[in-house]
C-alpha cells in the first residue's frame, strides 16, 4: 500500500532510488584468525575497478584480533559482523547468502588477493551469458611471503569442469561469482562437511547448473608453506564420503568405482610426498616473466595505497 503521506509519483521515485542504491554484487568474506593477511584481502576488494559492491566480513569467533588490522579502512560498502561465536564456515556462508542484497554473490577468503579487474570481468561475462549460474577465474598460487609458487589447475567450459566429477571440480572457491538466487537455491550443507563445503555444493548442483571459468588470472590464492597432513587426510575422506553418498543415491556405480580409485590414488600420493618430501614432487607449472611482472605490479600497487601494520 502506498504511504498516505506520499503521492504515487513520490512513492515510485523513492522506490527507484532505493533500488538504485542496492549493490549489484555482495561479496562474502567469512574470516577466522586471518591475521596479517586480512588487510591485503580487503584492500584488494576496495581497489576493484568495478565499484558497485558490498562486502560482508563475518567474523567466526576469531581470537587473533585480526579485525583491528582493518579498523582504519572507512568505506560504507564494508560491513563487519561479529557475534563472538565460532559456528563454522558453512553457517557463515549461509548467513551471508541470507543477508546479500546484490543480484550476484561473490566468494572471497581472508588471506587471498583479488586482481583489480576481477569483478569487472566477471560482471561482463554474466551480462554476455544469461544462462551462466556460477563463474570462477584462473588463479596463481602465492606463499606466506606473497611470492608466486605456481598456477592452480583449471578447466574453462562447463563440460570440462564437470567431465570427471569423481575427481572433483577445478573451480577455486575464492574466485566464485554466481547468481544470488542460485546460492539461495542450493545453499551450503549444515553441518558443513569438513573443509570441502564448496565441492559438496558443486556435487549436488552441477547437473542442473551452468558453470564456467574465465580464462584470465584474476586472483592470487594463498597456500601455506607447511602442509597439515592430518587435515588433508580428513578432507580427502570427507570428499570421498560425499561422493559415495551422492553416486550411490543415483546408482552411478561406475562413478563410485572411479571415485574410489581416485581416493586411493590421492592417499598414496600424499603418503609418498610426506615420506619422501622434496624428492617426490609433481612437476610445477612454469610461471612466465609476464605473470611475475603483472603480479608484482598489482602487489606493489596494493601495498602502496596504505600502510600495512
Q: Give me the chain's average pLDDT, please.
A: 90
- Taking only the tens place, the pLDDT of each residue in 223-280 is 988 889 999 999 999 999 999 999 999 999 999 999 999 999 999 999 998 888 744 3
Q: Is the distance from CB of 45 to CB of 123 less than 8 angstroms?
A: no
What is the structure's pLDDT at 279?
Answer: 42
By CB atoms closer than 10 A (0-12, 13-18, 19+), residue 167 is middle
What is the structure's pLDDT at 1?
Answer: 35
What is the structure's pLDDT at 90?
Answer: 97
Q: Cis (ω within 30 of 0) for the bond into 191?
A: yes
Q: Is the distance from CB of 219 to CB of 113 less than 8 angstroms?
A: yes
* Range 8-225+283-304 has CATH code 2.40.220.10: no
- Taking only the tens place, the pLDDT of each residue in 56-73 is 999 999 999 989 999 999
- Taking only the tens place, the pLDDT of each residue in 5-14 is 544 454 355 4
What is the structure's pLDDT at 274?
Answer: 87
Residues sharing a CB contact under 8 Å with residue 278, sequence separation 6 or more, in sequence order: none
What is the structure's pLDDT at 42?
Answer: 97
What is the structure's pLDDT at 114?
Answer: 98
- Global pTM reads 0.90
- For cell 561482463, name the residue: 124
List the single range of 49-58, 85-94, 221-230 with lowest mean pLDDT: 221-230
What is the structure's pLDDT at 6?
Answer: 44
- Taking only the tens place, the pLDDT of each residue in 130-165 is 999 999 999 999 999 999 999 999 999 999 999 999
User: How many Cβ atoms are within 10 Å of 238's Cβ, its own excluded?
Assistant: 18
Q: 123 pLDDT band (50/70/90 cuts)?
A: very high
Q: 19 pLDDT band (50/70/90 cuts)?
A: low
Question: What DSSP state is assigned to residue 215?
Answer: E
pLDDT of residue 172 exceeding 80 = yes
Amino acid at each position: 500500500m502506498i504511504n498516505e503521506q506520499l503521492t504515487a509519483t513520490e512513492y515510485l521515485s523513492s522506490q527507484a532510488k532505493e533500488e538504485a542504491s542496492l549493490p549489484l554484487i555482495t561479496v562474502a568474506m567469512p574470516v577466522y584468525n586471518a591475521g596479517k593477511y586480512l588487510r591485503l584481502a580487503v584492500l584488494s576488494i576496495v581497489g576493484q575497478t568495478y565499484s558497485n559492491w558490498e562486502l560482508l566480513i563475518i567474523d567466526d569467533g576469531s581470537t587473533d584480533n585480526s579485525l583491528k588490522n582493518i579498523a582504519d579502512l572507512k568505506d560504507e560498502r564494508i560491513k563487519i559482523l561479529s557475534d563472538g561465536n565460532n559456528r563454522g564456515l558453512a553457517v557463515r556462508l549461509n548467513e551471508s547468502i541470507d543477508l546479500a542484497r546484490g543480484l550476484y554473490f561473490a566468494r572471497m577468503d581472508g588471506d587471498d588477493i583479488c586482481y583489480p579487474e576481477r569483478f569487472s570481468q566477471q560482471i561482463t561475462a554474466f551480462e554476455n551469458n544469461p544462462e551462466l549460474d556460477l563463474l570462477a577465474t584462473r588463479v596463481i598460487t602465492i606463499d606466506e611471503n606473497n611470492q608466486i609458487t605456481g598456477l592452480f589447475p583449471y578447466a574453462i567450459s562447463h563440460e570440462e569442469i564437470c567431465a570427471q566429477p569423481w575427481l572433483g571440480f577445478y573451480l577455486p572457491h575464492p574466485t566464485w561469482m554466481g547468481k544470488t538466487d542460485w546460492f539461495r537455491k542450493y545453499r551450503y550443507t549444515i553441518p558443513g562437511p569438513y573443509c570441502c563445503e564448496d565441492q559438496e555444493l558443486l556435487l549436488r548442483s552441477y547437473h542442473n547448473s551452468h558453470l564456467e571459468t574465465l580464462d584470465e588470472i584474476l586472483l592470487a590464492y594463498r597456500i601455506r608453506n607447511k602442509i597439515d597432513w592430518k587435515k588433508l587426510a580428513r578432507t580427502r575422506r570427507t570428499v570421498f564420503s560425499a561422493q559415495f553418498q551422492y553416486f550411490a543415491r543415483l546408482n552411478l556405480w561406475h562413478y563410485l568405482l572411479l571415485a574410489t580409485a581416485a581416493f586411493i590414488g590421492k592417499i598414496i600420493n600424499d603418503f609418498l610426498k610426506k615420506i619422501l618430501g622434496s624428492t617426490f614432487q609433481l612437476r610445477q607449472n612454469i610461471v612466465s616473466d609476464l605473470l611475475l611482472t603483472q603480479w608484482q605490479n598489482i602487489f606493489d600497487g596494493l601495498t602502496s595505497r596504505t600502510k600495512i601494520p
